Structure 1
Amino acid sequence: MKSAWEKRRRLGYMPIGYKLMLSYLVFIIILITVNGYVSHSMYDASMRKQTSDNIKNTLVQIRDNVAYKTDDMIRISSTLYEDDKFVESLKLIPEDSREKHLRHEQTLLPKLDSASKSIGMNLRMFIYFKNDTIDEVYNIYDQHDTQSNEKVINMLKHRRISNTPWYFLFPEEEYGVTMVWEQVEDDRLSNRISMIRRIVDLSIPTNVKEIGMMRFSVLIDELFESVYFRNLGDGAVLLVKDKTGEIIYASDEQLDEARASSGRAPITLASMAESHPPGEFLTLEEYMPLQEWTIVAYVPLTIIKQEAERVQTYILLICLLCFVLFTFTGIFMSRYFSKRITKFVSVLNAFREGDLHKRISYRGRDEFSQIATALNGMGEDVEALINKVYLTQLQKKEAELEMLQTQINPHFLYNTLSSINRLAKFGENEKLQKMVVQLAKFYRLTLNSGKTLIPVSSEVEQANAYLDIQKVKYGRRLEATFDVDVNVWQYETIKLILQPFVENVLKHAWSGDRIHIRIVAKLEGDDILYRVIDDGMGVRQERIAEIMSLSNDSETGFGIRNIHQRVQLQYGEQYGVSIFSRRGAGTSVDIRIPARKRKLFLEDDQASG
């Protein structure tokens, strides 16, 4: 029976090295497989989304740039459209040549010239009037000129356009709204586009009467200057189409290709597509309702696919390399621990009376059962000793920090008394009285009946009393402001954590004959944040690290470290002092403590609850 039981025990026994190796391999295979799949999927989706978002943002910016120029033209045309004096001049039938001349020279031409100069583009302005008493004005220009910025103003008889198709198809008038963007007259030949709208007479509200037309013709390349396909990347297609689907603008290279493929016919989306090899594109559009234009972007997905395939190969190679590397590492580590586990057991048994205090719970038939027994035994023996030593050290630290906390700087007292003596000697009784009152107030708040925790208001008041004393000494050379959130009054704080930093500023931060100190106290989440800011000479980062180093035993920065340790001892290691500084710009000191209400406010909250 005994031998059979031993056989079953041996059959159920698996060395720790094998267990480690098998579990390690299973974990690594699952981890690498899942990580590779998820990484590839997330990267592919991220690439597509990021590309789409970037192109969308670029299109919005392009649309806004184009809209800015068109809106400027609409705004300038509206000044003429809504100008009653200009409209009346177009209707006026003069009685003599002098009145006709005055209308032409003092009203019509100045207004048109002012409107023309207000548009910062290569503009050709055409006014078509029905009043036969107005003389035509011609300006000769080169239809192919795309470089000159000279403004052209032509005033022409309405009959010149009355039989043209674009005028015949012009929509019915809706006051202030009706306008058309179209290539008319010589626009196609000059590579221009016109904004056209009526000039109407509203003297009879029930009868809107057309008295003329105005046309603002600008270079297409100048209007759509921001529509450039390389803003979206190589291989992208970027164009602007009108409501009929005809392309009115594309970047030069693409437009030339489309023209070559379509001959003299209007350039459409189909002709543009014929000039580029077929492929899968990411298509995005931005519509401009006022002009009835659509900015269209076609971005080839081959770039994204190539990048995704490259990353897929890279991830696969990394996964294979990691699997091989981790496998050999697992074999080495499992052998390493399995050979040494018995030595660990013997060492742990030999040091049962040592300083180890960890606890483990383990059930099994391998070497870890002995380790668990040894560690648990040592833990029971040393637990009381550790607690005793820890409490002793904690009480000692509290006593040291309490003593440091209640110390008052004798040098400050000496300097203040010297200042009082000097004021008394020179008979400056008002300043003398103020300094004595503030000194008494300062020490009353500092001592505070020996209490460690005081209201936030008392801490701020104590710092203010200190500054009032120093203002008597330094006069206008010292400026101080307080920025205190009233919501912090209901909380308590460790005393004497603001004044030492103010004193430190006055000792070390001067960079000239004046200095400004700003003291902030505010709620930030569940914490209270004190901040002492000066515009002094600043501190080097190496110096800050030296001051805040707990291993530094020098007197330099001792007060700062003392406050930092007091805060952490009272509230925990997540609180304390932080210093930020830049040479020549000043220093900012943050003291963060938890927001804990005073007993008075806690009782009020409980009563109201």
Structure 2
Amino acid sequence: MAIGRPNDYVPIRYKLLLSYLVLVLTPVIVIGSYSYVSSVRSSEEHTRSNLEVAVSQMGSNVDYRLADVYRGSEAIFSDQALSRILSGYYLDYEKYTIMTQQILPKIESAVNLPNLDTKLSIYVENTNISEFYYFDRDPKAGEGRQYSIYHLDRIEGADWYKSLRLTYEKSVWKQVEGEAVAGRISLLRPIINYDTLTTIGLIRLSVKLEDIFYEVDDSKLGAGSLLFVMDKGKSLLYSSSGAETFVSPQPRVDGFDHPADYLQIVQPIEGMGASLVAWIPTSSFQESSRRVGILTILICLASLLVLAVISWMMSRFFAKRIMKLIRSLKAFKDGEFNKRMPVPGNDEFSQIAEAFNDMASNMERLIDEVYISKLEKKDVELQVLHSQMNPHFLYNTFSSISRMAKLGEIETMQEMIRELAKFYRLTLSKGETIITVEKELQIVRSYLDIQRIKYGDRIRVRYELDEAAFPHETMKFILQPFVENSIEHAWYDDEIHLVIRAYVEGSDIVLEVEDNGLGMKEETTRQVLDPSEKGIGYGIRNVDQRVKLQFGKAYGVSIRSSIGEGTVSTIRFPGGGAAELGA
């Protein structure tokens, strides 16, 4: 019976949700949220707007300084004549003239940048160009202007150079060779041979960080504010006065982690690929919101008190219905499968009651089905016990004994009688229906010994047995019908060869009988295992049904056969002992 949902069905979760909304969320949202959030947002938005303008102006000033440095490098980068000179080959007497009249004037022009302490280094692949170094110690110029020319092989082994991925029209800002300690940073650009569009050297224009970030001043943002410059890799590059003693910002996907009591503003520095990060304390504009917060807390506490009283009343109501369910489940556990629950109301409890009633009905039906299945299983076992005393086999054996007596083959007759007695002693086995695989194989050996007395060497048998399978228990008399079937129906030549196998495969036990007999068509193989067939293959089908009834449809008998190539019959069942086989 399906669990229906009436049109007026209201889930209990909606009832509880409605109670919480009425008792708690409504006063908190209406009074607390409007007053608290509005005041905080208004103050933060006003402050943020003013501060963003100030931080944006600082970023623009930094970009202006960066543009000055970039223009200085551009004088070298875009000079095609200088590029050709640096690529050329010169005799010794030409080198001085080339250096003093064509190279140094261009470098001096590039390094003369206003309000910037610059160091220009040119690295060239062409070792024919002489190295040069100049340092201006003019006190008015601070540390003084420096410019130099080096061969590129001086830095080719440096890690910072190996990590560069410079291409045409690309520049990189990077701190190299101790610049992080010295408070400097370099603009790195390639020198291009414009005839071949290949890189022939490197421009390194180094400047002081304090010259670039001269306008980055936290005093412009108010007391307690902090300013950081984070590089492209989100590492600390520069900090304002006092900021270096604070915790360095840690990067995250949408910016940088910052203390909860600080407002954060991030301004990109496009020319460097860096970020200007400002932290401003929120305490200065949050005082008014604290009073609203206290009022909100009081309202929440009052709401919680009311909610506790109502929850207690509701718990009593639902506890009564739950106890009814528990009592019904206990009765079900004690075997009262005819127990049913009343189905009042239109909520989840009524659905549980209806589901319980359906489950109880299904359980009664399944018990009946299992009982019938066990009756069928017992009936099959009775058929097996009857087949153990196969009159046809016994008649043929006695006929053979009679023939031997007439021919005077006394010793052979005695041997057959002994084997026949042994065979029935094993098959009867004190009425046991569960035996070990080893005993089942002994039954087959005894049966084949009788047949070999009768047919002599015309029956050839090979045993391929894994002793690991011997201790496992199985149903009795499941292998002999396949051996008998091979002798009675598959034998068509002077001799028949049989292979008896027993082995462990994973957690299963596999028994096989293989013959080189006549074989079967695919249709015949299907009919042998078809329960609806009443003719051929009764003994084999009986074994298949017994195994399936005992262990499930995953186990049983399978047959592979081809006309003229013989047949392989396989019996598969799970390994184990009596616990797996059942009572």
Task: State the TM-score bracket (shorter-chain normalisation).
Answer: 0.3 to 0.5
Structure with the bigger RCO (C-alpha within 8 Å, sep 6+) is 2
Larger radius of gyration: 2
State the TM-score, normalizing by the size of structure 1: 0.39
State the TM-score, normalizing by the size of structure 2: 0.41
